[in-house]
Amino acid sequence: MGGHTEVFLEKGASVYAFEWDEESLRIATERLRGYGERIKVYPYNFTYIKEVLQKEGVYADGVLLDLGLSSFLLEGSGRGFTFQKNEPLDMRMSQELTLTARDLLNRLSEEELGNVFYKGEVPKARCFAKWLCKKRKIKPLNTTFDLVDRIREFYKPPKKKEKDLFALVFQAIRIEVNQELKNLELALKNLPDILKPGGRIAVISFHSLEDRLVKRFFKKDERLALLTKKPVRPSQEEVRENPRARSAKLRVAERRI
């Protein structure tokens, strides 16, 4: 929604910003309109950062990837990102994507669906996929509450653990629909190429799959020097002000000279 970008602009930076959700892009563009030519906003996923900056002939002092879902997508998009509202099973961050969560859940083979849940670290991933494939023949999954009911029926989780389980299953599906880990891996591979010597990459992740990928890449890539031995976590005060920050982890690496 342009929050981090606005802080950079207030500090005097020029920013190339990337947002592939159309509505979030519209809101952020309107919010940042007053900063004139110091802000350029592109309707692309962050995998296009290298391509765009090379066309512009620009090397960056720093790159920030904020991998979290915006409040708008969770609460106001109506695309089924949350298990707390009954919405169509969409989960696309960009409407240009063709595969929806509904397509994925109703069309993938048992093996393919099992792989989605397994990669997402869903408990009993392959058994759940097998069971889901049987159930969808009787009644396809069309809404978020259809999926919630199936999760409850299969796992029979204690009430206090339901939300964590729902979140894990929804996350696994959303990651697959938007190819989030593949996009992150591709972006990380390309970003050092467009950094100035001493330039930095900062990544804020919100679950272990993302954080693990970032951690491994920062350690493995010889072009980078790791600046955060352990991820920076939000303070208790920040979590009180913004509860969604509680799972955030920030890691930073610097381009070697």
Please give the residue range of the domain that contains residue 16. Answer: 3-72+187-255
Q: pLDDT tens digit string along 15-63?
A: 999 998 888 888 889 999 999 999 999 999 999 999 999 999 999 999 9
The domain boundary residue, chosen from 148, 180, 212: 180
The domain boundary residue, chosen from 149, 180, 211: 180
The domain boundary residue, chosen from 165, 180, 195: 180
Number of domains making up the chain: 2
Contact 238, 245 (CB under 8 A): yes
- If asked whether residues 141 and 217 sit together in one domain, one would say no
SS3 call for 23: helix
Contact 175, 208 (CB under 8 A): no
- One digit per residue, the tens of pLDDT, for the chain of length 257 reads 888 999 999 999 999 999 988 888 888 899 999 999 999 999 999 999 999 999 999 999 999 999 977 666 667 678 888 898 899 999 998 888 999 999 999 999 999 999 999 999 999 999 999 999 999 999 999 999 999 999 999 999 888 889 999 999 999 999 999 999 999 999 999 999 999 999 999 999 999 999 999 999 999 999 999 999 999 999 999 999 988 888 999 999 999 97
- If asked whether residues 82 and 31 sit together in one domain, one would say no
SS3 call for 236: helix
Helix-helix angle 125-138:144-155, to 10 degrees: 120
CATH classification of the domain holding 30: 3.40.50.150
